[in-house]
Structure 1
Amino acid sequence: MKKKSGFTLIEMLIVMMVIVILLLLIIPNVNQHIAGLQSKGCDAYMEVVQAQVESYRLQHNATPSIERLVSDGYIKSATCQDGKALSIDSEGKVEKE
């Protein structure tokens, strides 16, 4: 009688369990990492918008609204990539709403 080489059902189940456990450990860390990157991206975009506020002030001697910056082409969007809206206070400081 020849011995057939191959994997048994038990061996396949063990491999599947190991893969599932690894995925359960990796997926939450990826989600946390993505959230952190989005937050940093929003902070960087806020700095760009703040620079555009200063540019507008120098050219027009007035503090713009976020809508004015978008309509005049200083910035492309009034929101961060994570969907949070930006606003400009009366002193010209950019803030998340």
Structure 2
Amino acid sequence: MKNQKGFTLIEMLIVLAVISILMLLFIPNLADKSQTINNKGCDALLQMTENQLASYELEEGEEPATLQSLVDNDYLETTECANGKKEITKNTTGELTISNKNDEEE
């Protein structure tokens, strides 16, 4: 009998089983991290908005009327977080906060 190279059916099934087990272990962990990643992205956008607000004030000599002014004058691309559910807003005291977009629309 000749020496044939290749995988047997049993070897392929074992490899598939190992890959399946690894996927079952890692995919749920990645899904749990999604919320954390989105929150960190919003925090980074908040910090960048604060910095760009200060930059606007230095260059223009006044505070912008709205955060949309930062977008219109190319200081920011958007005030909306990457997931589209939250955005940066300015409260009545002038403090920047992260809020749900649904709260603003209602």
TM range (shorter): 0.7 to 0.9
Residue of structure 2 in register with 1:38 after alignment? 38
* 2:65 partner SS: coil
Please give the alpha-carbon distance, in whole angstroms, between the structure 1 residues aligned to 2:30 and 2:23: 10
C-alpha RMSD of matched pairs (Å)? 2.4
Unaligned 5+ runs, structure 1: none
Decide which moves more: 66-75 or 28-37: 28-37
Unaligned 5+ runs, structure 2: 100-106
Please give the alpha-carbon distance, in whole angstroms, between the structure 1 residues aligned to 2:57 and 2:87: 21
TM-score (ref. length: structure 1): 0.74
TM-score (ref. length: structure 2): 0.69
Does 1:67 find its partner at 2:68? Answer: yes
Q: Do the aligned residues in 1 keep the contact of 2:45 with 2:81 (CA within 8 Å)?
A: yes
How many aligned positions are there?
95
Residue of structure 1 in register with 2:102 after alignment? none
Q: Percent identity?
A: 38
Instruction: Please report how far the alpha carbon of residue 33 of structure 1 lies from its aligned counterpart in structure 2 after TM superposition.
Output: 3.4
